[in-house]
């Protein structure tokens, strides 16, 4: 019998999605390789999902974390990652996600754009496919992605604040910079 795919959420907080194993920082800490060794042992995950966590690390920590996750991902597997988008045009959004911002953003270390987040993952060996992002001219872009492959709540697809946008009636509300990061096949 084929085992069920191992699909793991990192820094899940209160989020729960069918088919995904939620983990908290104490179980899988992106800055502590020993937690990955203890949790996954000799296994590699089929997929990782990580929403609004990478911005809590410095760029150097984020690069190290990308290399760690790469090691524990199967060849051909995917890390889907979402962070606040530094090119989102709404000043109210930018106030909420700012570095050292209010409330849960108090420990935000970086505000990424597509141009600055992509190399965090390519330097680790990932092939990066952007799914949702704003460009520097404040135009919103999105690929045709499937939430079943990894739901990101703060997205055009799912966030309740984007209902009017999905209906073609207004601008996007709360979106994220979302990437699929693929580990090439043929890599250990
Ligand atoms: C803003 S919350 C996001 C929670 C959830 N993913 C969501 O989208 O609602 C940030 C999460 O990042 C986690 N986190 C921060 N640093 C981390 C690290 N080094 N490794 C793993 N998780 C971390 C926190 O524990 C927290 O759950």
Q: What is the pLDDT of residues 129-151, one digit of tens each?
A: 999 999 999 999 999 999 999 99
Pocket test for ligand 1, best of 8, 9, 10, 11 (most atoms within 8 A of CB): 11
Instruction: Give the separation between CA 160 and CA 47, rounded to whole angstroms.
Output: 26
Residue with tokens 């990192």: 10
Measure Cα distances from 104 to 24, 28, 32, 78, 154 in Å. Answer: 16, 20, 22, 27, 15
Q: What phi and psi values does residue 103 have, to the nearest 5 degrees?
A: 50, -125
Task: Name the pLDDT band for 172 (thresholds 50, 70, 90).
Answer: confident
Query: Cβ distance 35 to 64 under 8 Å?
Result: no
Closest ligand 1 atom, CA of 105? 1
Domains of the chain are: 7-182 (3.40.50)
Mean pLDDT of 64-86: 98
Q: Tell me: the pLDDT tens digits for 42-71? A: 999 999 999 999 999 999 999 999 999 999
Average pLDDT over all residues of the chain = 96
Asked whether the CA dihedral 123, 125, 127, 131 is positive or negative, the reply is negative
In sequence order, which residues have a C-beta less than 8 Å from that of residue 35 and are 6 or more positions away?
26, 27, 28, 29
Q: 85 CA distance to ligand 1 centroid (A)?
A: 17
């Amino acid at each position: 019998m084929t085992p069920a795919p191992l699909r793991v959420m990192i820094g899940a907080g209160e989020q729960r999605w069918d088919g995904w194993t939620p983990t908290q920082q104490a179980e899988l800490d992106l800055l502590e390789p020993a937690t990955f060794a203890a949790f996954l042992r000799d296994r590699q995950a089929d997929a990782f999902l990580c929403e609004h966590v990478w911005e809590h690390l410095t760029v150097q920590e984020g690069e190290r974390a990308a290399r760690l996750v790469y090691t524990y991902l199967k060849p051909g597997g995917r890390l889907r990652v979402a962070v606040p988008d530094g090119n989102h045009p709404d000043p109210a959004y930018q106030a909420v996600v700012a570095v050292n911002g209010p409330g849960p953003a108090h420990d935000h270390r970086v505000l990424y754009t597509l141009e600055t987040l992509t190399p965090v993952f390519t330097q680790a060996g990932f092939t990066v496919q952007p799914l949702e992002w704003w460009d520097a001219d404040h135009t919103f872009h999105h690929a045709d992605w499937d939430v079943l492959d990894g739901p990101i709540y703060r997205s055009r697809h799912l966030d309740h604040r984007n209902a009017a946008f999905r209906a073609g009636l207004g601008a996007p509300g709360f979106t994220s910079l979302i990437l699929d990061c693929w580990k090439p096949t043929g890599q250990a």
